[in-house]
Structure 1
């Protein structure tokens, strides 16, 4: 009888971490910046249908990089948890910290489980407060670790390069236009030089504490982005990332999608979010 194959726990965890990190790094970066009136999220995302930044609840937003079907399941689970808690108790009982803790439990359980691969995702959970001091921004990694960020944060893609550019450009308490220019400039910065990202290829949203509505989340349209960004020179085409695909571009070449960043894929190629028999999305409930 042959001896069973053995891998030390340390090596197993290292291999799973390397697998998740490589998948996340192949995607495009997402930037979160605290500005005078709230929290700004920006990402380069040519897809108009598949979002990396979304609303969770009144004052809470969610942003992610990595595999679309995996972080979309997490987003749906967060929305359901927030709705259930707000309905059963009070809307003020739904907090960004509580959602971040629930996501951390889910990601940590999946990462340490030997029965399935780790999620190739990193996520932001942000909550805007009545004042800048009350704003909260949490970054969660693939293994369930939670970091409380301040000022700005970056995940996915060339994290170090983008973060270094943001560190030099971001000013505490800056107005929206200045924070947006810093974020977009950092997204276009790379080791090969700077490029101008077209407004149509940007996905930008804010949690704006000055809105009179209960819901503070708002997406910025390309026209609004052009107005806020001002004159930036001639827009250049997005730098090719392995597996990039523009759903609107006509091409006879076979499509090769990036498995780590399917927000660039046509929606028909993404795993279905609903079970055909029950009509319910196959989510992994947090907690």
Structure 2
């Protein structure tokens, strides 16, 4: 009987971390930026069925890169946690910090377990506050650590290069149009330093809009509204407040529309 090959715990953890990082780097990037009226999420994602950015609760959104089945399981678990806590206590007791702690425990346990492979995912959990100073953005790498981010953050793909680009150009007080333009410019840069052309069809864009008069602050930017923002670099109009139809053809207060509150 042969003797099992010995691997030190340090080397085993390093190998698991390298495995997870390589899997995450193969995915397309997601960037999150704070702007005057909220938090912007922009993902390079041509699929209209498989979302990288989703709503978790009233003021909380989730973005992820990596293996879809793994981060989708985490998203569903986060929604269940938020719904249960909001129902048991109060809606205001559901916070991004609490959700980030739950995700950190889950990712850390999986990463440390020798019985299963580490998750090839990196998450962002964000909560919009009453003002820009109250916004919360947390990045959770594959090992379950929590990084408190401010201003801008990028995950997946060539995240280091994109983050450096954003850090040099992001500033407080940006409008939605300015933030979207900066996100587009950062995602358009490839690993060789060149630039690509991205269109609205290749992007998944959503915001947590603190000025939205409804309890739920999450909304997606789709169709003509997104195209107009990309072309003009201007903030959106007051379509939600005055009942303007969105890209699906339903007004926000019409039952069955994507932003119907009846599901909460």
State the match for 1:229 in structure 2: 230
**How far apart are 1:192 and its partner, in Å?**
4.3
Structure 2 residue matching 1:144: 3-state secondary structure: coil
Q: C-alpha distance in 1, partners of 2:197/2:50?
A: 22
Q: C-alpha distance in 2, partners of 1:231/1:61?
A: 26
Q: C-alpha distance in 2, partners of 1:195/1:6?
A: 46
Check conservation: 1:33, 1:39, Cα contact below 8 A.
Answer: yes
RMSD value over aligned CA atoms? Answer: 1.1
Q: C-alpha distance in 2, partners of 1:74/1:14?
A: 24
- What aligned pairs does 1:161-176 form with structure 2 within 5 A after superposition? 161-176=161-176
**How far apart are 1:2 and its partner, in Å?**
3.0
**How far apart are 1:225 and its partner, in Å?**
1.7
Spell out structure 1 runs of 4+ moving beyond 6 A.
none
**How far apart are 1:224 and its partner, in Å?**
1.4
- What aligned pairs does 1:104-253 form with structure 2 within 5 A after superposition? 104-190=104-190, 191-230=192-231
TM-score, scaled relative to structure 2: 0.86
**How far apart are 1:231 and its partner, in Å?**
5.9
Tell which has more relative contact order, 1 or 2 (C-alpha 8 A, sep 6+): 1
TM-score, scaled relative to structure 1: 0.79
**How far apart are 1:222 and its partner, in Å?**
3.1
Q: Residue deviations 1:144-166, cap 9 Å, x none?
A: 01000000000000012211221
State the match for 2:3 in structure 1: 3
Change (3 A) 1:34 1:103: same
Q: C-alpha distance in 2, partners of 1:219/1:194?
A: 26
Say how many residue pairs are matched: 232
Unaligned runs of 5+ in 1: 233-287
**How far apart are 1:168 and its partner, in Å?**
2.7
State the match for 1:15 in structure 2: 15
